[in-house]
Amino acid sequence: MSTDLPASTQGDLWVSWTEYHRAIEELALLVHESGWKFDQVLCLARGGLRPGDVLSRIFDVPLAILSTSSYREQAGTTQGSLDIASSITMIRGPLAGRVLLVDDLVDSGVTLQKVQRHLSGAFPAVTEIKSAVIWYKECSVLRPDFFLQLLPHNPWIHQPFEQYDGLRAEQLAAWMKKGTNEAS
């Protein structure tokens, strides 16, 4: 598969797989260097799944997953109303103690704000919530506790996994073959 990406501009930030993985590691380091200790990682699916998984592994704490969705309109490019799943998926006990809430980015800030409010009301055993994201758009109504990159021009972030958004199972064989030919 080709790794050539368009040049990033004030309106578009293009991120390769290598840059994406490195950013997650740098975010983990930032959280570590803060000295803040937490009991669980709660990632917001879908964007926070990969960062949440990596942080859960690096800090050796349980991973919980909460599904949220607001970018459904116009092939995922327009924010609509926010849906928050009625339950959290996790394997050990209830959500409690100090929780690191992880997502890939904070755009408007509405999702993080509403999820934090939801957690505070629905999980009284949670004593503290801090948020961690890779990208923080300046237009956000909420400043995350930990962020790797402040984006003052609020660009659209083109993440590497978006290549799968338009790919369907029946197209997979041809798509994989095309990627093999490009690598030659």
Sign of the four-CA dihedral 46, 84, 156, 103 = negative
pLDDT of 23-32, one tens digit each? 999 999 999 9
Share of the chain above pLDDT 90, in %: 71
In angstroms, how far is the first alpha carbon of the chain from the final one? 9
Is residue 144 pLDDT above 90, yes or no?
Answer: yes
Residue ranges of domains in the chain: 12-183
pLDDT of 31-61, one tens digit each? 999 999 999 999 999 899 999 999 999 999 9
Q: Look up the pTM and report it.
A: 0.86
Is residue 2 pLDDT above 50, yes or no?
Answer: no
| Contact partners, residue 74, CB within 8 Å, separation at least 6 | none
Residue 80 has what pLDDT?
60
Written as six digits, the tokens of 55 are 């942080």
Q: Does the domain formed by 12-183 have CATH 2.60.40.10? A: no
